[in-house]
Chains A and B, each alone.
Chain A
Amino acid sequence: NAGVTQTPKFQVLKTGQSMTLQCAQDMNHNSMYWYRQDPGMGLRLIYYSASEGTTDKGEVPNGYNVSRLNKREFSLRLESAAPSQTSVYFCASSLTRGAYEQYFGPGTRLTVT
């Protein structure tokens, strides 16, 4: 049982380049989330998917798109990377909506130069 896996672990992009961060969970969870973590700001929700086939904006969605490919996979795309998107990105999943534990992946450290 791998839990939540994320690829890649590290990435360096030039301003304007695009990339997709991949996330998969093997816990048969319905809900999945993307967060970014910046120093002194905690974790901020970018997008979430309450269930397969649905996605919704979180606190900081600008500059990002998401795809809930199936129940297991939830990807985050940066269409035109900006230095302000330099951050550590975490994917998480939970059994369903509501007050359930969120299980986090190990994170992707992204640097945009």
Chain B
Amino acid sequence: GENVEQHPSTLSVQEGDSAVIKCTYSDSASNYFPWYKQELGKGPQLIIDIRSNVGEKKDQRIAVTLNKTAKHFSLHITETQPEDSAVYFCAASLMEYGNKLVFGAGTILRVKS
């Protein structure tokens, strides 16, 4: 089955700097890669996703890149703000088999002001 590894486990950046979180997946058939943000005491919330027919996707300060050959994808957050502090999870799934997401272990992002 699918296995998703996520790095780093914790990341501290200064406000205004960029943050990058990386994930690798094992199943080359996976074709859907969402990123979720979880704030303290809440459930995860989707922030951006990418399908395997696209190499990069941007939404304001966040972007995701996908390298299908290397089987890895990354989340990029620019101009970080204190409200970006949260736990971020990557996930992978095969769209045709429903939305059975396999999640990475998570990255705790701390933005210092």
Contact = CB atoms under 8 A, between A and B. Distances in A.
Contacts of A44: 103
Contacts of B49: 99, 101
A31 B95 CA distance: 14
Interface in B41-82: 41-46, 49, 51
Contacts of B51: 99
> Looking at chain B, what size class is its interface with the partner chain?
20 to 34
B96 to A, nearest CB: 8
Chain A, interface size category, equals 20 to 34
A16 interface: no
Interface stretch (A67-75, A78-86, A104-112): A104-112
B13 interface: no
B98 A92 contact: no
B86 interface: no
Interface in A1-60: 4, 31, 33, 40-45, 48, 50, 58-59
Interface of A: 4, 31, 33, 40-45, 48, 50, 58-59, 90, 92, 94, 97-102, 104-107
10 contacts: A40-B105, A42-B103, A42-B105, A59-B102, A97-B99, A99-B49, A102-B46, A102-B99, A106-B43, A107-B42
Interface of B: 1, 4, 6, 9, 32, 34, 41-46, 49, 51, 89, 93, 95-96, 98-106
